[in-house]
Structure 1
Amino acid sequence: MPKQIDHEKRRKQIAEATWRVILERGMEGASARNIAKEAGLSLGALRHYFSTQDELLVFAMKLVQEKARARIEDIATKDLPPKEKMLHILLEIVPTNEETIREMEVWFAFTVYARHKKDMFDANHDGIYGGIRNLIAYLDEFDLLKQDADKDIEAERLYALIDGLALHAMLDPVRVNKDRITRVIMQHVESICAEETNETEGREY
């Protein structure tokens, strides 16, 4: 058992080294040799943990997903008003600090690379769209959505908004900072929700 734990820990360290190489050199620089050097390993040692470069890249890509998913799941377990919980979850999808901006840069690099390798990893199935659909349904469960809201369309609109904010936050983090992102998301959520009534008072942000 200890050896298995050490093996998995080393695989994660190699994946994180892969992220650093991608951030510094781009996907074109993410060769096995460069990754091995960044991880402090020989090529032979690297191949002990990952038999192919694609296997390593898939693992590194999924690790980005796992980190974001863990943060979101932590928020989902908290006792928060529905719209406040939704806001916090969406703020984990849009990069708002150095760590999540780096993760997003790596994710975008992976996404472009994976476009022509769908047999390896389909970046379209990253779970974000499904998660956003669930958030819209979550609002509806609490009777917070406008009565005439089309849930499919609202999920698509929110997905497009979050995707755009994520890209802009990565490209221009000074302008598109956490405060601006928060205000944009809050305003959008309020625009799709029914006006506050006595029944919904106290369940807001």
Structure 2
Amino acid sequence: MSPRVVDPVARRQAVAEAVFRVVVRDGVEQASLRNVAVEAGLAIGSIRHYFDSHDDMIIFAVEALIDSIDQRVMAHVQSLKDRSDPRRPAERVLSEVLPLDDRRRDEAVLWLAFVTASRTRPSLVPHAERLYDGLRMLCRRALTVMSEAGTVAATHDVALESERLASLLNGLTVDGILHPDRMTPDLTVSLLRRHLDSLR
């Protein structure tokens, strides 16, 4: 009987997904090697085979989260070129980072958990910075397209408005995670839409 061949890429991704489940359910502090191994249905030695340390495992999971969000957002970025009403494609793209359904809510919980953890875990700081910068780049790209189409008034400073929009998205995300019964998906989208409309 030939030995079972394990795909190391798939195994590392499966471990990252186990980290996600533990963090969403119990928080970053509970994502130990042992707890993640149990969640993934693996021996702790298997986890150590693919990751040099606990930090290495957590960093891999954060990068996997960032890559997943990036891929989904970039799949929608082309729609920004729709000049029939540039506010709507911008709203659609920006909504991808808001907790509007189970998948995006889990991602938002993970984002908040990892970014908060970076305050006391230096190894996470570069990844938190990547998330911070990525959101601002997305906002700037959306507002630049709207500005070129004339749906952002020329009196607005796009760089400053990108910071304001990123801050709004962060606030909506935190409120949607912590107060989901009050900051509902419908209210979240309405506030984003109202903000984009106010830039005309």
Q: TM-score, normalised by structure 2?
A: 0.88
Equivalent residue number for residue 143 of structure 2: 136
Q: Which runs of 4+ in 1 moved over 3 A?
A: 78-81, 116-121
Looking at structure 1, the residues matched to 57 and 51 of structure 2 have their Cα atoms a distance apart, in angstroms, of 6
Looking at structure 1, the residues matched to 78 and 163 of structure 2 have their Cα atoms a distance apart, in angstroms, of 25
Alpha-carbon contact 2:147-2:154 (below 8 Å) kept: no
Alpha-carbon contact 1:58-1:121 (below 8 Å) kept: no
Unaligned runs of 5+ in 2: none
Residue 49 of structure 1: how far off its partner (Å):
1.0
Alpha-carbon contact 1:22-1:30 (below 8 Å) kept: yes
Residue 32 of structure 1: how far off its partner (Å):
0.6
Alpha-carbon contact 2:117-2:124 (below 8 Å) kept: no
Looking at structure 1, the residues matched to 142 and 122 of structure 2 have their Cα atoms a distance apart, in angstroms, of 27
Greater shift after overlay, 136-145 or 50-59? 136-145
Counterpart AA for 1:111: V
Is 1:153 the counterpart of 2:160 in the alignment? yes
Is 1:58 the counterpart of 2:28 in the alignment? no
Equivalent residue number for residue 124 of structure 1: 129
Count of residues in correspondence between the two structures: 190
Secondary structure of the corresponding residue to residue 152 of structure 2:
coil
Equivalent residue number for residue 202 of structure 1: none
Looking at structure 1, the residues matched to 102 and 199 of structure 2 have their Cα atoms a distance apart, in angstroms, of 30
- Aligned in 2, Cα 1:83/1:57: closer, same or farther, shift over 3 Å? same
Looking at structure 2, the residues matched to 161 and 46 of structure 1 have their Cα atoms a distance apart, in angstroms, of 38
Equivalent residue number for residue 94 of structure 1: 98
Unaligned runs of 5+ in 1: 194-205
Counterpart AA for 1:61: V
Looking at structure 1, the residues matched to 26 and 186 of structure 2 have their Cα atoms a distance apart, in angstroms, of 31
Residue 7 of structure 1: how far off its partner (Å):
1.2
State the superposition RMSD in angstroms.
Answer: 1.7
Q: TM-score, normalised by structure 1?
A: 0.86
Equivalent residue number for residue 75 of structure 1: 76
Equivalent residue number for residue 198 of structure 2: 191
Looking at structure 1, the residues matched to 151 and 25 of structure 2 have their Cα atoms a distance apart, in angstroms, of 44
Looking at structure 1, the residues matched to 28 and 157 of structure 2 have their Cα atoms a distance apart, in angstroms, of 39
Looking at structure 2, the residues matched to 25 and 190 of structure 1 have their Cα atoms a distance apart, in angstroms, of 38
